[in-house]
């Protein structure tokens, strides 16, 4: 399984990547939405995207909309991983096609639970 972690914080990318690698994911990383689209173009399909909301260049919501607008990536599960705790933001993301929403800060167990809900790891 291959995951793309998109967050402007190197520390957060490292934390998420470490957890995913422990779960035997191959991990690609990007610091903003445009870099994520570039990575997808360079490295091909992924099985999961974990996307921060607030990033420079192209934010996570814009990336989510771009991903869902492309027939190439419509089936890829997307988890928003963000500090955005407003219910309206969560609703916007889910309505735009996010499959899950994980609020920072989070624990390894909560991330594992979300991956299990998505059917990507055993429950």
pLDDT in tens, 39-77: 998 988 899 999 999 899 999 999 999 999 988 888 899
pLDDT at 111: 95
| 3-class state of residue 76 by DSSP | coil
CA 38 to chain centre: 15
Instruction: Walk me through the domains of the chain, giving residue ranges and CATH numbers.
Output: 2-117 (3.40.50.2300)
Helical (H) or strand (E) element with 28: strand 26-30
pLDDT of residue 33: 94
- The arithmetic mean of pLDDT across residues 80-99, rounded, is 87
């Amino acid at each position: 399984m291959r995951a793309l972690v998109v967050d402007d914080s190197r520390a957060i990318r490292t934390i998420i990547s470490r957890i995913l690698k422990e779960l035997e994911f191959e991990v690609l990383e990007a610091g903003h939405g445009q870099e994520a689209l570039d990575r997808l173009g360079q490295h091909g399909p992924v099985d999961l995207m974990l996307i921060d909301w607030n990033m420079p260049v192209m934010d996570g919501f814009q990336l989510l909309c771009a991903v869902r607008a492309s027939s190439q990536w419509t089936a890829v599960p997307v988890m928003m991983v963000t500090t955005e705790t407003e219910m309206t933001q969560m609703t916007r993301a889910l309505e735009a096609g996010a499959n899950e929403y994980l609020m920072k800060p989070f624990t390894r167990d909560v991330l594992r639970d979300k991956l299990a809900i998505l059917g990507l790891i055993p429950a």
